[in-house]
Amino acid sequence: MWCAPSLEVAVQFYKDVAEAVPEMNIAIYANPEAFKFEFSRSFWGQVADIPQVVTAKYIGVGNLLADLATIRGRIKLLPIDFDYYAAARMDDSIDAFWSSGAVCCPLVTTTLRDVVLNARSTGNWKEARAFQALLGPTAAPLFPNGSFKDFSTYNIALEKARMNAGGWMKAGPVRPPYHLCPEPFLEGARKSGIMWADLGRALEAEK
């Protein structure tokens, strides 16, 4: 969005997409920095009435329960991997997540999926809580100055640096002008990718 959208504009955008492609399901990418919009409760309440809106990439857990009540089971909210354990403990409808860390080492991501699934079936969350305690610290170096805003400013370069450092795949070069990124920020992203990959190697060794 060139202009920060009003609530009416944001909702109308999804209505227009739904009308233009009525046979297609819609996933909302609820990133407030990328789209200059706060994705308020009023927004969720209105887009929940659009049948094609079936899921959303969701950031944070602070408003999760209120937003879940607002959407009335009509949209599957997907928290990031770093928030998945906490979100899953809050509500049983949270049974999936999104993960850019998966391309640093998929085993970490599938392990998170499995320990939460096991915890939910047994009622014993001890293993899932312990695994989240290992996963969480890999996030810290990824966010410069602990800031989601700073991360978002250099998102492309930071994520590619993280992925490349993880070593599972090569993300390729960053296209100009997004290749311009402070080296200390990149070093933090590389550290995050290495920490994630190290966790994956430790999991592999346990098999």
Over the stretch 119-159, which tens digit does the pLDDT of each residue have? 999 999 999 999 999 999 999 999 999 999 999 999 999 99
In this structure, the answer to whether residues 52 and 151 fall within a common structural domain is no
In this structure, the answer to whether residues 116 and 64 fall within a common structural domain is no
In this structure, the answer to whether residues 35 and 106 fall within a common structural domain is no
Contact residues for 19 (Cβ-Cβ < 8 A; gap 6+): none
Phi, psi of 57 (to 5 degrees): -75, 115
Chain centroid to Cα 113, Å, comes to 14
- Whether residue 111 lies inside any domain: the answer is yes
d(Cα 34, Cα 83) in Å, to the nearest integer?
19
- Say how many domains are in the chain: 2
pLDDT bin (cut points 50, 70, 90) of residue 196 is very high
Q: Domain range for residue 164?
A: 101-207
d(Cα 5, Cα 89) in Å, to the nearest integer?
33
- Tokens standing for residue 25: 């399901």
Find out whether 150 and 144 touch, Cβ atoms under 8 Å: yes
In this structure, the answer to whether residues 140 and 51 fall within a common structural domain is no
- Tokens standing for residue 55: 């899921």
pTM above 0.85, yes or no: yes
- What Rg, from alpha-carbon coordinates, does the chain have? 18
Counting residues of the chain whose pLDDT is more than 70, the rounded percentage is 100
- Decide which of 79, 111, 127 is a domain's last residue: 79
Find out whether 136 and 195 touch, Cβ atoms under 8 Å: no
- Whether residue 186 lies inside any domain: the answer is yes
pLDDT bin (cut points 50, 70, 90) of residue 2 is confident
Q: What DSSP string describes 49-82? A: TSTTEEEEEE--STTHHHHHHHHTTSSEEEEBHH
Q: Given this model, what pLDDT does residue 1 score?
A: 76
In this structure, the answer to whether residues 110 and 198 fall within a common structural domain is yes
Nearest to 74 by CA among 93, 101, 100: 93
- Whether residue 41 lies inside any domain: the answer is yes
Find out whether 77 and 83 touch, Cβ atoms under 8 Å: no
